Amino acid sequence: MRRTLLILSFVIAAVAAPLATAAPGAVRCGKLLDVRSGRMLTDQLIAFDANGMITAVGPAGSSAVSGASVIDLSNATCLPGLIDVHTHLTGDPMSSGYQGLGISVPREALIGAKNARLTVRAGFTTVRNVGASGYTDVALRDGIDAGDIEGPHMLVSGPPLGITGGHCDNNLLPFEFHYKAEGVADGPWAARAKVRETVKYGADLIKVCASGGVLSKGDQPGTPQYTLEELQAIAEEAHKLERKVAAHAHGTQSIKDAIRAGIDSIEHSSLIDDEGLALAKQHGTYLVFDIYNDDFILQEGAKAGMLPESIEKEKKIGRLQRENFRHAFQSGAKIAFGTDSGVYPHGDNARQFGKMVEWGMKPLDAIQAATIRAADLIGWSAKAGVLEPEHFADIIAVSGDPLSDVRVLESVKFVMKNGAVVRNDFSVR
């Protein structure tokens, strides 16, 4: 098996196109959105060094870039590279339910390589991957960092932690297979050990399933799974190891338990109530609402092989989640942009911006959720989420004004990551 995988790796390397590398240079932007202030600046130059870090940003007329090439985007609007804090790059929405049992760990890794390219080319230059089998997301992250694969910056969780028979277990096989998912851990000490194990094998953060879910078999989204005691043990162990924790939590009680346990972000947040919102604000906990994928599940879920019970669960919870998103935003809770990509096709991440505006945000609010707010959640404010010196030269550009029509972000035409051009459709005549 190892020899086969090595041969496969050599074949992929041989046929892959060489990836662009960074060199000192600059991008001239006709307009540039300052995501901190919300101001749209005109005729700006962003300079960066050979390490792909921004060195200066300012008016093009007063800036000089000695000995470096300038990419002309004077007819475009530039923004920081976008951040999605809830992705599953090694997953495929068309392999849901029982169809997913046929996907091996090596196959999942190759699927991840494809989806990483789709994601970065859609303008998402940083993602947090929250759940993958066999540490395939660790391998994907490392391959991207090594320059072997085209993709975004990644923070990865490895296998998500969950209870026996819970949302993060695999409940599709009968008893005689005696199978449970890699992240299953019952009880506080077993959960602590599982945190240590996932960190040992390369996880940047810990993903935990605090409640039931939509796409799992045999449970309900609102049902608590991990206890408060178990969640406290997980959070304490992860924070001791300098890792943040993301909790899958649809249910009202599980959301509050996760916040009280000290977990850093609540994923889905579907049935959050006023007490939960007050707790989130008190603790500074980020809420992540994946409010686009309801459309895909209800329209395409059956074709994708999703279980009939999953589609019924989504019918009950989808609109409630969107209503609670609006209420959470109006209440002043901290919200970061996360889409649950892999439930819907990768590369369509930006479709969520329109939903966020439809359900109460202004375009700038939604953009800030995917830039400065997301960077704050993942602990990368010092290097991502803004176009400022000493940050990644991660730049995207679109035609039109995203502050007037946020849906232009669904058609990103230019992407730069770390000073290297990933795509430039503006150069095509």
Check: CB of residue 267 under 8 Å from CB of residue 160: no
Query: Is residue 316 annotated as a catalytic residue, yes or no?
Result: no
Q: Are residues 163 and 312 in the same domain?
A: yes
Question: If you average pLDDT over residues 64-86, what whole number do you get?
Answer: 88
How far apart are alpha carbons 251 and 271 in whole angstroms? Answer: 5
Query: Is residue 207 annotated as a catalytic residue, yes or no?
Result: yes
Of 427, 412, 425, 429, nearest in space to 152 by CA: 412
Q: Over the stretch 285-326, which tens digit does the pLDDT of each residue have?
A: 999 999 999 999 999 999 989 999 999 999 999 999 999 999
Q: Are residues 45 and 91 in the same domain?
A: no
Check: CB of residue 78 under 8 Å from CB of residue 29: yes
Q: Are residues 278 and 296 in the same domain?
A: yes
- Residue 61 scores a pLDDT above 70: yes
- Residue 19 scores a pLDDT above 80: no
144: domain CATH number is 3.20.20.140
Q: Are residues 266 and 232 in the same domain?
A: yes
Q: Are residues 49 and 195 in the same domain?
A: no
63: domain CATH number is 2.30.40.10
Q: Are residues 370 and 400 in the same domain?
A: no
* Structure token pair of residue 60: 């093009």
Q: Is residue 173 part of a domain?
A: yes
Of 141, 12, 1, 35, nearest in space to 394 by CA: 35
- Residue 277 scores a pLDDT above 50: yes
How far apart are alpha carbons 271 and 264 in whole angstroms? Answer: 18
| Helix runs in 67-129, H state only | 105-121
Question: If you average pLDDT over residues 79-92, what whole number do you get?
Answer: 98
Of 39, 118, 23, nearest in space to 79 by CA: 39
Q: Are residues 277 and 151 in the same domain?
A: yes
Q: Is residue 205 part of a domain?
A: yes
Q: Are residues 164 and 136 in the same domain?
A: yes
Q: Over the stretch 210-230, which tens digit does the pLDDT of each residue have?
A: 999 999 999 999 999 999 999
The pLDDT-based confidence of 68 (bands split at 50, 70, 90) is low
What is the 8-class DSSP label of residue 216?
S
- Residue 40 scores a pLDDT above 90: yes
Q: Over the stretch 129-142, which tens digit does the pLDDT of each residue have?
A: 999 999 999 999 99
Please tell me the predicted confidence (pLDDT) of residue 387.
98
- Residue 2 scores a pLDDT above 60: no
Last residue within a domain, chosen from 338, 357, 378? 378
Mean predicted lDDT score pLDDT of the chain: 93
Q: Are residues 135 and 210 in the same domain?
A: yes
What is the 8-class DSSP label of residue 187?
S
Close Cβ partners of 184 (under 8 Å, ≥ 6 residues apart): 161, 162, 163, 164, 166, 168, 169, 194
Check: CB of residue 159 under 8 Å from CB of residue 204: no
Of 8, 3, 16, nearest in space to 147 by CA: 16
Location of structure tokens 């007490």: 275
Please tell me the predicted confidence (pLDDT) of residue 16.
46
Q: Which domain holds residue 290?
A: 82-378
The active-site residue out of 31, 194, 207, 313 is 207
Q: Are residues 68 and 204 in the same domain?
A: no
How many domains, in total, are found in the chain? 2
Q: Is residue 14 part of a domain?
A: no
Please tell me the predicted confidence (pLDDT) of residue 65.
59
Q: Is residue 9 part of a domain?
A: no
- Residue 207 scores a pLDDT above 90: yes
The active-site residue out of 294, 340, 348, 394 is 340
Q: Are residues 74 and 91 in the same domain?
A: no
Check: CB of residue 332 under 8 Å from CB of residue 284: no
Question: If you average pLDDT over residues 395-409, what whole number do you get?
Answer: 97
Q: Are residues 200 and 243 in the same domain?
A: yes
